[in-house]
Structure 1
Amino acid sequence: MIKIVGVRFKKTGKVYYFDPGDLTIALHDRVIVETARGIEFGEVVIAPRDVAEEDVVSTLKKVLRLATEEDAHKVEENQVKEKYAFEVCQKKITQHRLPMKLVDVEYTFDASKIIFYFTADGRVDFRELVKDLAAIFRTRIELRQIGVRDEAKMIGGLGSCGRVLCCASFLGDFEPVSIRMAKDQNLSLNPTKISGICGRLMCCLKFENDCYERKEHCRRRERSDANTIPAEMIEGPS
């Protein structure tokens, strides 16, 4: 068995697993961990637990330490820097007349990299933009193109139900949603009624889909049983 702990870096982001080592870690503790993109600050959303070795896909990185108030203050400072970086990047995009929409900016915890998230209809040549940003901020710059569902998750908003978007409030990962789900639930196939503000099929179509699938399976089994002729009716009495 291997001990793991689940850490989330954003409010509704994906949960990543780490090795807690000998540290005493509890649910909702804030920790400092090493990730593929550097040192990061996150919150424990799955308390330490033992899992089978075969359930661990790759080697787990260790939790470096519990976060301090100084670390939390540094995160707040980075958030202020992100707002400034957003304004600067937006001006540069306008100057270069690039066909892209800036969605969000994120500093890594150690400020070794700034990630600019954007949407665009196609590929964008942003090499000159990267040069300008690198000259201004003097750190590593990454421009990452995202989809419309990720944009809705980052920006947030209200769905047609009047509630905060599922993706922005509790959904960690996007699951595949198909028009078949709407048909099985006898919903209107009008795109404006089954699409979210992102323009894609609403994520909530997936929530009750399993129930409808089980219900349809039971109906098919009942029809199959009704059409089956008992063996004694075919063979006759013995």
Structure 2
Amino acid sequence: MAVTFEKHGQLHYVDPAGHRVSVGDFVMVPTDEGPEVAQCIWAPEGVVQGDFGGLPACLGLATEADLARDRENRKFRSQARIVVNRLVREHDLPMKVIGLDYLDRSKEFDREVIVYFTAPHRVDFRQLVRDLAKALQARIDLRQIGARDATRVTGGIGNCGRDLCCSTHLSRFEPVSMRLAKDQDLPSNPLRVQGACGRLMCCLKYEHPLYQDFLKKAPKIGSRVKTPDGEGKVIGHSVPSDSVVVRVDGTGEVTRCPQADVCPARRAFDSRGRD
């Protein structure tokens, strides 16, 4: 099953471990710092053995005490973020607070506050750490993150109108180049294919194999093919719909045909055996 620790947050796959869980239920999930409350987004279902190996096991449904603790921690995080932003302004530091995490039972410390931020360069935040520790009565850990990680934390809506891939299902970032955009017949202008983080869109990478498989089987642009509407010339591809765009001879009509319904046309030869 899949769970999330934040609303519209990243999905984490978990072994139900025999517990009966429905979508919307709150469950306890093991983490490096101990069990935490998460909400079930994808109900338990069978998968092919080996597809999901080594998953953490669900510890059961969250009790009322677990939910009360989770509410208190969320309330503390909200208040702590206000304090952090206020002290950043007072110290006039060139940094932007992206997210905040709170551990009320860290393995090494009683309470720990982790602050994620972005900055154009290295920041001297030693005095800020001292003031935060005094104001929040906790150990402070400041972590500077990059543009992609910052977008993953904040979330948002992509060009496709859906939640950002990085903040939902992507587990790691992979290098993305303009060559991938060219293979997918997208604009060569980087500004046209960049994501919310200002970098090239992650979907260019994980969708690329689909385009490669399609181009191996599909007729090339300019080739002659037979379709249910008659013979014609391929003038384009539509990978998402697994179809080709054909201009039909005679009528000049442009039609989109499923790749399975298209076959190469027999070439015509003149009396001298030439095309």
State the TM-score, normalizing by the size of structure 1: 0.71
Q: How do residues 165-204 of structure 1 correspond to structure 2 at under 5 angstroms?
A: 165-167=163-165, 170-176=168-174, 177-204=176-203
CA distance in 1 between counterparts of 2:163 and 2:34 reads 30
1:13 aligned partner: 10
Q: Secondary structure at the match of 2:93?
A: coil
SS of corresponding position for 1:35: coil
1:184 Cα deviation after fit: 0.2
Distance 1:217 1:168, change over 3 A: closer
Q: Which amino acid aligns with 1:167?
A: C
**2:130 aligns to what?**
131
Aligned counterparts, 1:88-237, within 5 A: 88-108=83-103, 112-161=111-160, 163-167=161-165, 170-176=168-174, 177-206=176-205, 208-218=207-217
In proportion to residue count, which structure has more helix?
1
Q: CA-to-partner distance for each residue in 1:183-203, whole Å, 9 max, x for gaps?
A: 101111112111112110112
> Which of 78, 83, 88 is the matching residue for 1:83?
78
Q: For 1:120, give the aligned amino acid.
A: A
What is the letter of the counterpart of residue 84 of structure 1? Q
Number of positions where the alignment pairs a residue of Structure 1 with one of Structure 2:
214
Consecutive unaligned residues in structure 1, runs of 5 or more: 221-238
Distance 1:23 1:211 in 2: 36
Matched, 1:33 2:29: yes
Q: Which has the higher contact order (CA 8 A, sep 6+)?
A: 1
Greater alpha carbon shift after TM alignment, 130-139 vs 61-70: 61-70
Q: Distance in 2 between matches of 1:75 and 1:115?
A: 17
**Unaligned 5+ runs, structure 2:** 220-275
In structure 2, the CA distance between the partners of 1:117 and 1:71, relative to structure 1 (3 Å rule), is: same
Quote the Cα distance in structure 2 between the aligned partners of 1:14 and 1:125. 34
- Asked which structure has the greater CA Rg, the reply is 2
The CA RMSD measured in Å over matched residues stands at: 3.5
Give TM-score scaled by structure 2 length. Answer: 0.63
Evaluate the alpha carbon distance shift between residue 17 and residue 125 of structure 1 in structure 2; reply closer, same or farther with a 3 A threshold.
farther
**SS of aligned partner of 1:213:** helix
| Higher alpha-carbon deviation: 127-136 or 23-32 | 23-32
Match of 1:47 among 38, 44, 47: 44
CA displacement at 1:127 relative to structure 2? 2.9
Alpha-carbon separation, structure 2, partners of 1:153 and 1:56: 25
Of 67, 73, 77, the match for 1:72: 67
Instruction: Give the aligned residue type for 1:47.
Output: P
Shift of 1:8: 3.2
Distance 1:209 1:166 in 2: 18
| Deviation larger for 209-218 or 70-79 | 70-79
